[in-house]
Structure 1
Amino acid sequence: MKRHAGMLLSSIRIDKGSDRRISVQLYMALRELMLTGGLAPGDRLPATRTLASEIGVSRTTVIDAVDRLISEGLLISRVGAGTYVSEALHAQRPLAPAHKEPDATTLAPRLSHAATHAAADFAVRKRLPHQSKAFTTALPALDAFPMAQWARLSARHWRGGRDEVTGYGEACGHPRLRAAIARQINASRGIKCEPEQVFIVNGAQQGFNLISSLLVNPGETVWFENPGAIGARNAFIATGAMLAPIPIDQEGLCVAEGLARAPHFRLAFVTPSHQQPLGHTMSLARRLALLKAAKDADAMIVEDDYDGEFYYGDQPPPTLKSIDTQERVIYVGTFSKSLFPALRLGFVLAPSGLVEAFNRIYRTWLSGAPTASQAMVADFMDEGLFATHIRTMRQLYRKRHDMLMSATERLKGRIDLQPTSSGFHAVGLLAPELDEEKIVAAALAEGIVTAPLGRYGLTKLRQKGLVLGYGSCGQDEIEKGVEVLEKIVSNPRLICSDKALWEEQ
C-alpha cells in the first residue's frame, strides 16, 4: 500500500538543550528506528519539509541527517518519488533477542479470580481450525454466500451521508436492523416482540456475557446443559457464575435432574431447537417443565437459537420464547451461522421487564456494534435477500447432511452418526473401545478436522463421540473425510483406548 505522506515519526524527541547537535540527534533517532523495526525496509520517510515541521526543527537539519543515512546505505532517495528505507537494512538489523523468562524478582500484576483460575475453570483447549473443510464445526457454507449482492449493498451504504456512515450510531443497535429482526423472528420463529426489545451485540458471545453480568451475582447457580456450548459456558464462568451441569437425553435438558441437583437456580441456559452439540430437539413437555421450574425458582432462561433458521425436518418446533407467557425467556440469535462469522453480529431479545435495564447498560458503558455491518444486514433483510438465502441454505445443508449419513453407513458399529433435522453438524457416537482424542489427533494429521464430544462436557461424559461439521464442505470433501475416518478406525492400535488394547491382548 502506497503511503503518500510517508510514515508518522511522532516518537522522535529532540533535546534542544543538549550539547549534541540537533542533526546528530535526529540521525541517531532515525537510525535506531530502522535497526529496531520501527521503520521497515521499503517504508517511505516523510518529505524533509514535513518531517521538519512535525518535530520542530529546520529543514536544513533534517536534510543533513537524511543525507548521512543515505551515504551509509540505510536510506535510498528516488528522484520524484521520495526517500525510502533501504532493503539492505535486513543485513544490518540485529537478530531479535531470544524470549527471556521472567526472573523471580519480576512482579506480576494481580489478576482477577476468573483469570487466575482460567486453566481449571474454563474450557481451555487448543482452538480447532476454522477452515472450509471436512469436518469443521460452526462454519456455514461460505462458498454459497451471495457475495455479489453483499458487495452491492456495501457500496450503496458507503455512498450514504457521512454522519450515518462514519458516526457512532445508536448504541442499542441500528433502528432498521432492530425492526428487521423483530419482523423476521415473528414471521419465521413465531416470536412476537417490538423492535425496542431487540439489542444488537458483537456476536452471541458478548450477549451471553452481558446477560450474565446483568442477572447473575458471583456464586449464584446457572443450570447448564452437559454437554453444552463452550462459548456460552466460558461467558458465564467469566462473570463468576456457578454452573450446575444438567444432563441431556433425547428430549433435551433433564429438568427433573436439574431440580434435584440445584433447585435454587438463578438462570438456565438451553439450546432447545438444536441442542449443542448432540442435536436433539427439546420436547414440548420438557419446555413446559422448564418454564414452570423457572417460575417456581424466580429464575430466567437463556434460549440460544444459534442455527434455528436451518430446520429441514417435517415441522419446525416452536421456540421456547414463543410459548413463554411469563416473560422469563431471553432469546439470543446470531448472524455468524445464518450469514458469515466475520460479521460478529448477534442480538438479544429482552423480555419487557428487562428492556430498561438493557437500555441503561447500553447508554452507560456499551458502545454498540459497527454501524456499517448493521446497516448492510438491515438492507439484506429488508430486500428479501436474507429469506432467500436461508431457503437456499436449508436445501444445501439437508443435501450435505444426507451425503454424510450415506457416506458413514460403512462406519456403523464403530462410528454411528446420529441423524439431525437442523443446522450443519452431527454427532458420531463411538464404540466403547475407541478413544476419541486419539481419533481426533490422527484425523488432524491427515488434514481432517473433528471435535471430540468430551470437549463440550462440563464433567466427564459417559458417551464418547465425534462432532462432525458438514456445512462448509461439499460431496468430494465429505467422501474424502469419511475415507480418512474409516482408515483410522480400522487400525485399533492407533485409536483404541489403552484398556481396550490390554483386554485384546
Structure 2
Amino acid sequence: MKRHAGAVLSSIKIDKGAEKKISIQLYMALRDLLLTGTLTPGDRLPATRTLAREIGVSRTTVIDAVDRLISEGLLEARVGAGTFASQALNARLAPKPSPEASDAAAVVPRLSHATRHAIPDFAARSRLPHKSQAFVTALPALDAFPMAQWAKLSARHWRKDRDMIAGYGEPFGFMPLRRAIARQLNASRGIKCDPSQIFITNGAQRAFSLIGGMLVNPGEPIWFENPGAIGARNAFVAIGARPVAVRVDEEGLSVEDGLAKAPHFRLAFVTPSHQQPLGHIMSLSRRLALLKAANEADAMIVEDDYDGEFYYGDQPPPTLKSIDTHGRVIYVGTFSKSLFPALRLGFVLVPEGLVDSFERVCLTWLAGVPTVTQAIVAEFMDEGMFATHIRTMRQLYKHRHDTLMAEAAGLAGEIDLQPASSGFHAIGLLSPDLEEKRIVASAGNHGVTVVPLSRYALGPLAERGIVLGFGSCSADEIRKGIHTLEGILPECRVG
C-alpha cells in the first residue's frame, strides 16, 4: 500500500511560480486523488518528510495540507501507524464510469419545474455589448459623470461607523435615501408618497422579481407591451407567469387589445412615460382606461419609469402613479440610467395596502443593499448634486439626440429615425427592402452596435427597425456611426 500511494503521490506537480499558495496546490491535488478514487480507502500515505522530499516542498507545507484533509475527514491519522485514506470515502465516492459512459455527455442536473418551463421562453438569450460606443443602448454618459464629487462623498462615508458601512443593511432600505427619493418623486414626478412606501432593491430587475413572486401565481396572465422591456419580461417569466403580448401604438399600450386577449389579467407591465423601446408617451385616455381595467379585474399595474428624468420638453411626461386613486400602481425606479449601472440600485414605491406585505418579505428573507452605497446616493441627492447632474445630462442627451437626428437625415427613405421625447435611444424604421439581421451583423463587424426591434418582440410586430442608443457616445462617434450605417446598407438588402 505504501509503495502504491508513494507512486501516485510522486506524480503531483507543484507550480512554485503560481499565485496560488503551494500548500493550497498540494491540498487540492491530494483531495482530487482521494475524491476520484485514485487513492482508495485504506491506502497509506508516505511519511510527511518523505512526501515533502519527493515533490520538492517543505515538510511544514505537507503537514498543513494533510492536517486540513484530516479535519475534513478525507484522511485518517492512526497513532503509531501513519496516515491513511479515510474509510468514510466508501460512502462518498461515486462508482467509476465505464469506458462507454465516459464518452457520453455529462449528466445534466434536474431543474425545477419553473426553470424548465421558463428557459425556452426567455427573451434575448445573448447579452448586448455594454461599452461606450455607437450605438449601444441603455448605457448613460459615463464620461460626463461627476466622478470627483462622487469620490469625495465615497471617501467620507467609508470613514464612518463600521457597523453601518460593513454590517448588514436595513432590510427596507436606508431611511435617508428613502426620504430623498420620496422628495425627488414629489418634486420632479408629481408623486405624493411617504418614505415608508419606498423599498430599496438591488436594481430594477430585482424589484420585478420581488413583485412577481409576491403577486403572481404560476400560469396567471400578465399584460406586456409588444414590443417591450426584455429584462422585466424575463423576470416575470422566471416565476412562472404567462406574458400576454399587448399591442402598442402611438398612444401606448392598447387596453382594448389587452382585454380581448386576457380580460382576467393579474398584472399589467407598462412604460408609460417613455415606452420601451418605441418611445411613445401613453395618452391620458389610455392611462385612465388602464386604471379602470385593473380596478375591474382586481389586478395590479407595474409602472417602470426607467429614464423618466431625461425629458427634452418644458414639462416632464406624467407618471401613471400620480393619477392612481385606487392603489393599483406599483412604481419602479432605478439609478442605473440617472447615475450609473454598476450601483445596482433601484427602488419600489408600493401602494399603502402593500406596505405591510413588503415589509414582512423584506424583513424575513431579502438581503439589503449595501448601506454605504445608499448613504452616498442619499447625500448626493440631499446636497443638490443629483438635481444638477440630471439637468446637465438632460442638456447633453438633447444635444446628442439632435446630432443623431441631423446626421441620420441622409438615411431617410431607408432608415427613418423617429425623434425621441426623452431618454437616450431612438428607433429607426426600415424600408421594406432592408433586413434587420443583416444590418445588425454588418454593423457589428464594423464596430457599431445596433439592436433589432424584433429583439423586444413578444409577438408579431407590424414594424421592422433598429434601436440606436446615443447616451454613451460623443457627437463625433455618432457621426462616424451613421457614416458606417450608410456604407453597409447596400449589402443589407433583401434578396
- When normalised by structure 1's length, the TM-score is 0.81
Letter of the structure 1 residue corresponding to residue 48 of structure 2: I
Find the residue that maps to 1:9 and give its secondary structure. helix
- The structural deviation recorded for 1:26 is 4.8
1:312-391 correspondence to structure 2 within 5 Å:
312-391=312-391
Match of 2:246? 246
d(CA) in 1 for partners of 2:288 and 2:327? 13
Letter of the structure 1 residue corresponding to residue 364 of structure 2: T
Note the aligned Cα RMSD (angstroms). 2.6
d(CA) in 2 for partners of 1:103 and 1:234? 35
d(CA) in 1 for partners of 2:376 and 2:394? 22
Match of 1:72? none
Match of 2:300? 300
Q: After superposition, give the CA deviation of every residue in 1:158-215 in whole Å (9 maximum; x if it has no partner).
A: 1001111110120111111111111111111111111111111111001001100000
Find the residue that maps to 2:24 and give its secondary structure. coil
1:99-248 correspondence to structure 2 within 5 Å:
103-104=103-104, 106-248=106-248
Q: After superposition, give the CA deviation of every residue in 1:109-163 in whole Å (9 maximum; x if it has no partner).
A: 2112343244531113321111101000000000000000010011001100111
Q: Is the 8 A contact 2:438 2:492 kept in 1?
A: yes
Further displaced range: 156-165 or 120-129: 120-129
Consecutive unaligned residues of structure 2, counting only runs of 5 or more, are: 1-17, 35-41, 69-99
d(CA) in 2 for partners of 1:178 and 1:187? 14
Indicate whether 1:21 and 2:18 are aligned. Answer: no
- The structural deviation recorded for 1:364 is 1.2
d(CA) in 2 for partners of 1:218 and 1:26? 59
d(CA) in 1 for partners of 2:102 and 2:351? 50
- The structural deviation recorded for 1:365 is 1.0
Q: Is the 8 A contact 1:208 1:235 kept in 2?
A: yes
d(CA) in 2 for partners of 1:356 and 1:419? 43
Find the residue that maps to 1:337 and give its secondary structure. coil
1:69-108 correspondence to structure 2 within 5 Å:
103-104=103-104, 106-108=106-108
Find the residue that maps to 2:187 and give its secondary structure. helix
Match of 2:24? 9
Indicate whether 1:278 and 2:278 are aligned. Answer: yes
d(CA) in 1 for partners of 2:207 and 2:54? 50
Match of 1:495? 492
Distance 1:104 1:300, change over 3 A: same
Find the residue that maps to 1:338 and give its secondary structure. coil
1:432-451 correspondence to structure 2 within 5 Å:
432-451=432-451
Find the residue that maps to 1:135 and give its secondary structure. coil
d(CA) in 2 for partners of 1:242 and 1:416? 34
Q: After superposition, give the CA deviation of every residue in 1:23-50 in whole Å (9 maximum; x if it has no partner).
A: 234567887xxxxxxxxxxxxxxx9979
Distance 1:228 1:50, change over 3 A: same
d(CA) in 2 for partners of 1:131 and 1:433? 30
Distance 1:255 1:19, change over 3 A: closer
Find the residue that maps to 1:310 and give its secondary structure. coil
Letter of the structure 2 residue corresponding to residue 351 of structure 1: P
- When normalised by structure 2's length, the TM-score is 0.83
Letter of the structure 1 residue corresponding to residue 283 of structure 2: S
d(CA) in 2 for partners of 1:348 and 1:291? 19
Q: Is the 8 A contact 1:10 1:55 kept in 2?
A: no
- The structural deviation recorded for 1:305 is 0.1
Q: Is the 8 A contact 1:425 1:470 kept in 2?
A: yes
Letter of the structure 1 residue corresponding to residue 212 of structure 2: S
- The structural deviation recorded for 1:55 is 6.3
- The structural deviation recorded for 1:54 is 8.3
Q: After superposition, give the CA deviation of every residue in 1:426-459 in whole Å (9 maximum; x if it has no partner).
A: 0000001210111000000000000000000001
Identity %: 63
Indicate whether 1:481 and 2:481 are aligned. Answer: yes
